[in-house]
Amino acid sequence: MMKRLVLAACASLVLAPSATYAAEATMDPQLREKARRAVDAGLHYLRGQQAADGSVARSVGVTALSLRAFLESHRGYNESDGPFITRQVDFVLSKVQSDGSISESLQNTAYNTAVSMNALAATKNPKYESVMSAARKFLINHQIDEQEGYKPDHRYYGGIGYGGDERPDLSNVYLAVEGLKAASTDPNDPVWKKALVFVNRTQNRSESNDQPWAGNDGGFVYMPGWNPPEQGGGTTSYGGMTAAGLLSLLFAGVDKTDPRVQAAYKWMTVNYTLDVNPGTTGKHGLFYFYNAFAKVMLAYGEPEFTDGKGQKHNWRNELAQKLVSLQSADGSWANKDSNAWWEDKPQLVTAWSVIALEHLLK
Amino acid sequence: MIAMRWAVLAVATVLTLAAFGATGTDLQPSALRVAVTAIVGLLAPLFWPGIGATAARTTLRIVGWSLAAACLAAIALRFAGNHGQPFARILPACAMLMLILLVIHALAAIVEQHWRSKSGNAESSHEMAGRTAALVLALLGAVPLWLGPAAELLARRQAWIIDAVIGVSPLTHLAVASGNDLLRNPWFYQHSNLAALRFSYPSLTTLIATYVAIALILVLAPLAARGPGRPTASTIATTHPATEHVK
């Protein structure tokens, strides 16, 4: 594990200049500066939201996201910068449970563990390797498979839910695989293959999805067979989940040229909009989409794309412009049109927005 | 007679579980614990044996019938689903069911006694008390559904209202004891407006303490007030024919 962390740190150092070059070369310099200032203002807001124990919004998940926002910023914050970082780390560590999960309650156990793994990985501190290893084991054990009596032909197989043993969904799977990747999980571990079984069953692509409802537009749904009511129910592909599905494929090691990846990317670009959650007419989960969109576009590695109307888009410039325009005077963001999935909570949405900006600045 | 009631309750439970597809593979173990305990919990008051001739006998029936129903749920859980559930998981869920039923059966006893003293009709009072108790339980259990929209509106000013609406439901209590994230189960996630909002479930310790306190007051207060051996005012006037068998 120690070796893996050192290797990951070296790899990120080697990759950092080329990644920085990507944003420098493709972004409008003025917009880039505005995005940096927006990150600073967002971090300032988050710093002001910290309680004495380091927690943000009394939540492990939000605190971990806030911590990650600090650690991945262009300011290069790390634990030596002071208590505003270490207190958050300490709060996250104080919620480590005996089963390896990192959470404060029955709710959101897997979600909190996954985002905490990303935050702890961002510290690049090998001290946390035992915590990361235990968290990795928790997520792997939490995956629905034969251990829970499910066979590979079951629609839940390979999925991961919020916590406990409830139904899995693509959103939690994406966060879990992101956490597992951050924890340098062995690429040959069966967890990836099993996760892909579930991910395939959430894509509207009948060639790789054995579910009877599967369409063929290449986009993704929340769960095999249904979407949350806020997204209209049914099995229509939408932006937040298509970004999550595409990220899951890429994190699980599926090649960029794979037809599943190509179909999902095509859906993302053809249905591109930043005004609503693509594929829906509403703004539920809009900031979740911005966050996942920034991550997936960076992971996919194309600076520009052409949408369904034949128009070219520089995703970095457009997402930066959108996020900067939505920032409040105090540096925070919040979804003013929806309270679903906590998007009315400025602490959570600010952390997501800062992380999105940090990704487009890379 | 109690044994016969228990057998009928068992048959009703099995049939209801089968009708709701509770043996299907989609229902995860913790949700199965909630489903089984909730179904037994709703059916048990309908088979409530009725108040006894004395306060002590009524107390015995409240405790006995609640325990019998909780045991039935434990047996059903041991054999339901893909593979039987471990005892360590079954125990908290069934203990919570027992506490809920202690309170609800104590309420049924109070209602029955009140109506019997008013109407003088033992049989109808007994039936109505059981039905009323089941109805109260059903309405309280579904509070997060039918009060959810109002709670969401009010929570813009008072965020605690959402937690209160979720926390008052006995279904939530069974879910907490079963280790189940109730609102994230597929049906609730699709039909409850609260599932996508921020909320916290009450802690198991708080729930147990609250139920024990309420149950003690409801079950033991009449005993302390009247003395265990004295007949209740209503039972002096009339005696329920169905309860004769268990005296």
DSSP A176-207: HHHHHHHTT--TTSHHHHHHHHHHHTTBS-TT
The structure tokens 């839940």 sit at A156
Residue A266 contacts residue A276 (beta carbons within 8 Å)? no
Q: What is the pLDDT of residues A44-95, one digit of tens each?
A: 999 999 999 999 999 999 999 999 999 999 999 999 999 999 999 999 999 9
Its ipTM equals: 0.75
Residue A239 contacts residue A278 (beta carbons within 8 Å)? yes
Of chain A, the percentage scoring pLDDT greater than 90 comes to 86
Q: Which residues of A touch B92 (CB under 8 A)?
A: none
- Note whether A150 contacts B25, CB cutoff 8 Å: yes
Q: Which of A16-25, A160-169, A174-183, B127-136 has the least mean pLDDT?
A: A16-25
Predicted confidence (pLDDT) at residue B239 exceeds the cutoff of 60: no
Q: What is the pLDDT of residues B115-172, one digit of tens each?
A: 998 888 888 999 999 999 999 999 999 999 999 999 999 988 888 999 999 999 999 9
- CB environment A292-324: b (16+ within 10 A), e (fewer): bbbbbbbebeeeebeeeeeeebbbbbebbbebb
Q: What is the pLDDT of residues B160-195, one digit of tens each?
A: 999 999 999 999 999 999 999 999 888 888 888 898
Q: Which of A161-165, A332-336, B201-205, B222-226 has the least mean pLDDT?
A: B222-226
d(C-alpha A123, C-alpha A12), whole Å: 13
Predicted confidence (pLDDT) at residue B97 exceeds the cutoff of 80: yes
pTM strictly above 0.95:
no
Confidence (pLDDT) at A225? 92
Q: What's the rounded mean pLDDT across residues B67-79?
A: 93
Q: What is the pLDDT of residues B14-65, one digit of tens each?
A: 999 888 777 666 678 888 999 999 999 999 999 999 999 898 999 999 999 9
Q: Which of A264-278, A330-344, B174-188 has the least mean pLDDT?
A: B174-188
d(C-alpha A198, C-alpha A169), whole Å: 9
Confidence (pLDDT) at A77? 96
Angle formed by the axes of helices A29-49 and A60-71, to 10°? 140
Q: Which residues of A touch B198 (CB under 8 A)?
A: 342, 345
d(C-alpha A343, C-alpha A288), whole Å: 8
Half-sphere exposure at residue A335, Cβ-oriented, CA atoms within 13 angstroms? 25
d(C-alpha A272, C-alpha A286), whole Å: 13
Q: Which helix (H) or strand (E) holds A305?
A: strand A304-306
Quick check: B194 contacting A, CB < 8 Å?
Answer: no
Which of B152, B185, B200 minimises the CB distance to A166?
B185
d(C-alpha A110, C-alpha A122), whole Å: 18
Token pair in block for residue A13: 């150092």
Confidence (pLDDT) at B195? 87
Query: Considering chain A, what is the average pLDDT of its residues?
Result: 92
Distance from CA of B187 to the nearest CA of A (A): 10
Confidence (pLDDT) at B81? 65
Predicted confidence (pLDDT) at residue A135 exceeds the cutoff of 50: yes
Measured between CA atoms, the residue of chain B closest to residue A163 is B181
Confidence (pLDDT) at A270? 96
Instruction: Name the pLDDT band for B2 (thresholds 50, 70, 90).
Output: confident
For residue A272, the one-letter residue type is Y
Strands (E), A200-268: none
Instruction: Name the pLDDT band for B83 (thresholds 50, 70, 90).
Output: low
- Note whether B28 contacts A166, CB cutoff 8 Å: yes
Instruction: Name the pLDDT band for B232 (thresholds 50, 70, 90).
Output: low
Quick check: B26 contacting A, CB < 8 Å?
Answer: yes
Predicted confidence (pLDDT) at residue A131 exceeds the cutoff of 50: yes
Q: Which residues of B touch A345 (CB under 8 A)?
A: 198
Confidence (pLDDT) at A107? 80
Residue B33 contacts residue B77 (beta carbons within 8 Å)? yes
Quick check: B232 contacting A, CB < 8 Å?
Answer: no
Which of B82, B185, B186 minimises the CB distance to A149?
B82
d(C-alpha B154, C-alpha A63), whole Å: 27
